[in-house]
């Protein structure tokens, strides 16, 4: 089984997509279309903007989505997935690549998602932290014992779990998890508590936009974040993509499920090489690569 995987927030870099824009007329047309849909010149920020400009959630999420989906489209007949998956935001890129969503609808949803998440972040100071070197169940148990909101948010690979919640709760969890034997408990420089109950206002805001969007039967299954299962039913995909905002990203479980289904190769489509690195940690013999241009 050959799977194409799509990165999430944090994979961005200055100059991303510029090579695509300059070498592909299809890509150039898509970037110009994106500028119109978003109402600002995202192409210029991606190619020539500062790190600070690129870090804004309203820019970061559409930028990564654009890089990934345009790159997949530019592959043409070379894009031949048996399955797709995306990490958090990357799930939207995957859904455009497997033709469940149109490019236009995908971009509109990603933009709406970014703005809704930013609003939710502004309501209450919140953060995330990477916990390295502990079993998942130990992290889960300690989070449960803290009265304030702190939950597992990203199951990235065995021994690497990101927690999310209110600032005091995440700080307390980091202290307790270090005592419990974590090699590192590192507060992340993020805008807020993604994939936690604190994103409920964003989920409610996005629900209407998702409900109004047409989800088509995809050309191949998508392994979704909320359940790590291969899904092809558009209604199920729609339900899961909305639940994703407040639910954890089960990437460890997704990688295991893909391997069980006979995975032989993964191709990362979009900026960076983080996801293929996580697959390599799980299985050194797996064939991994990146798709195309920067």
The one catalytic residue among 68, 88, 93, 164: 88
Dihedral Cα 66, 104, 52, 24, nearest 10 deg: 40
Quote the distance between the C-alpha of residue 231 and its chain's center: 17
Catalytic residue list contains 290:
no
What lies within 8 Å, CB to CB, of 203 at 6+ separation is: 116, 242, 243, 245, 246
**Is 88 labeled as catalytic in the residue annotation?**
yes
Biggest CA pair distance of the chain? 55
Instruction: Give the residue numbers marked as catalytic.
Output: 88, 195
């Amino acid at each position: 089984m050959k799977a194409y995987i799509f990165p999430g927030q944090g994979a961005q870099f200055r100059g991303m997509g510029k090579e695509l824009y300059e070498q592909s007329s299809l890509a150039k047309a898509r970037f110009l279309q994106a500028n119109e849909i978003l109402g600002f010149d995202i192409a210029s920020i991606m190619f020539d903007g500062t790190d600070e400009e690129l870090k804004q959630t309203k820019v970061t999420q559409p930028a990564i989505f654009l890089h990934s989906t345009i790159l997949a489209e530019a592959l043409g007949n070379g894009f031949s997935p048996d399955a797709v998956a995306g990490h958090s935001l990357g799930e939207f890129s995957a859904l455009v690549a497997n033709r469940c969503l149109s490019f236009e609808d995908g971009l509109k949803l990603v933009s709406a998602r970014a703005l809704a998440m930013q609003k939710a972040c502004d309501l209450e100071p919140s953060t995330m932290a990477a916990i390295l070197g502990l079993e998942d169940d130990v992290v889960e148990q300690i989070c449960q014992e803290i009265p304030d909101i702190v939950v597992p948010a990203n199951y990235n690979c065995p021994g690497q779990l990101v927690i999310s919640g209110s600032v005091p709760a995440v700080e307390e969890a980091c202290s307790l998890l270090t005592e419990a034997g974590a090699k590192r408990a590192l507060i992340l420089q993020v805008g807020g508590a993604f994939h936690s109950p604190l994103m409920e206002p964003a989920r409610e805001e996005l629900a209407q936009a998702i409900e109004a969007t047409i989800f088509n039967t995809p050309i191949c299954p998508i392994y979704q974040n909320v359940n790590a299962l291969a899904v092809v039913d558009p209604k199920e995909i729609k339900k899961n993509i909305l639940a994703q905002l407040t639910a954890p990203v089960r990437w460890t479980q997704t990688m295991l499920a893909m391997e069980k289904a006979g995975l032989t190769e993964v191709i990362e489509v979009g900026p960076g090489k983080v996801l293929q690195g996580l697959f390599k940690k799980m299985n050194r013999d797996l064939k991994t690569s990146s798709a195309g241009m920067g």
